């Protein structure tokens, strides 16, 4: 851990600040994946006043890297004490300005959230208690098996969304970032049929890797019981 020689005052102020920091609201809409998320501005808004009230501020240092965005969040106290939270690296899956910008924003948001213990608020109320965080588990819980033809049964707009997400997931695996790929699926907000169709786009290696990542998520939540309409739909497709 990189820090100043003493961090006693910083630690005391951080304890007070973290007690006052609330979750970041998921108020940004990703129209591509039809899901809401807590963006960088929401995280900054969640920590801004508690930091100011306790003599704290932060800076985010960018580090040079090939095909990756590397960000280091450093917390500073008015006394001059400081604490580095280490370097977070996010692969740039598309080698252009937009790809780097997306990776940089992602890295800044997650580094800042980790530094101050900010968690996104659940704007769906009890959604966490009703749904498994593992997108793969949701597919199997709904009685849908990854078989050919599921993509064609989606409407054209749904197919475009699912194929675009599939391309991004594959790009992440090629860049050596399976955890980022899993996160994309988890935050995509796809329904059961869309998840099942997405599954058909991946080879056995990617499927196995995604399952393995899902199994490491703790604590595990019970699988979702099939909704009546999902069960009927699956039966109609001969996949139940």
Inter-axis angle of helices 40-53 and 97-116, nearest 10: 40
Return the minimum-mean-pLDDT range out of 13-22, 63-72, 111-120, 216-225. Answer: 216-225
Q: Within this chain, do residues 36 and 110 fall inside the same structural domain, yes or no?
A: yes
3 within some domain? no
pLDDT in tens, 175-194: 888 888 888 888 777 777 78
User: Rounded mean pLDDT of the chain?
Assistant: 74
At residue 92 the predicted structure's pLDDT band, cuts being 50, 70 and 90, is confident
Total of domains in the chain: 2
200 within some domain? yes
Q: Within this chain, do residues 94 and 142 fall inside the same structural domain, yes or no?
A: no
Higher pLDDT, 11 or 199: 11
157 within some domain? yes
Show the CA angle centred on residue 144, arms to residues 141 and 147, nearest 5°: 145
Distance between CA atoms of 111 and 62, rounded to whole angstroms?
12
Domain boundary residue among 86, 116, 146? 116
Q: pTM score > 0.85 for this model?
A: no
Show the CA angle centred on residue 34, arms to residues 71 and 206, nearest 5°: 65
Specify the pLDDT at position 83: 94
240 within some domain? no
Q: Within this chain, do residues 221 and 168 fall inside the same structural domain, yes or no?
A: yes
Q: Within this chain, do residues 133 and 109 fall inside the same structural domain, yes or no?
A: no
Specify the pLDDT at position 76: 96
Whole domain around residue 198: which residue ranges?
127-235
Q: Within this chain, do residues 131 and 150 fall inside the same structural domain, yes or no?
A: yes
Show the CA angle centred on residue 222, arms to residues 145 and 205, nearest 5°: 40
Distance between CA atoms of 69 and 101, rounded to whole angstroms?
9
Distance between CA atoms of 227 and 192, rounded to whole angstroms?
10
């Amino acid at each position: 851990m990189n820090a100043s020689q003493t961090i006693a005052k910083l630690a005391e102020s951080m304890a007070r600040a973290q007690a006052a920091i609330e979750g970041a609201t998921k108020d940004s809409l990703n129209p591509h994946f039809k899901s809401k998320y807590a963006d960088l501005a929401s995280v900054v808004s969640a920590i801004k006043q508690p930091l100011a009230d306790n003599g704290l501020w932060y800076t985010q240092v960018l580090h040079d890297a090939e095909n990756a965005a590397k960000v280091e969040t450093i917390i500073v106290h008015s006394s001059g004490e400081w604490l580095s939270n280490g370097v977070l690296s996010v692969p740039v899956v598309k080698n252009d300005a937009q790809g780097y910008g997306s990776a940089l924003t992602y890295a800044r948001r997650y580094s800042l959230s980790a530094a101050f213990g900010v968690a996104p608020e659940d704007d769906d109320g009890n959604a966490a208690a009703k749904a498994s965080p593992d997108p793969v588990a949701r597919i199997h819980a709904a009685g849908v098996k990854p078989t050919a033809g599921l993509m064609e049964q989606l409407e054209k707009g749904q197919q475009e969304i699912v194929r675009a997400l599939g391309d991004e997931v594959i790009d992440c695996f090629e860049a050596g970032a399976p955890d980022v790929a899993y996160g994309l699926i988890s935050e995509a907000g796809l329904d059961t049929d869309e998840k099942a169709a997405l599954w058909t786009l991946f080879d056995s290696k990617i499927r196995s890797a995604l399952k393995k990542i899902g199994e490491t998520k703790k604590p595990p939540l019970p699988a979702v019981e099939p909704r009546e309409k999902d069960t009927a739909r699956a039966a109609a497709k001969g996949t139940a």
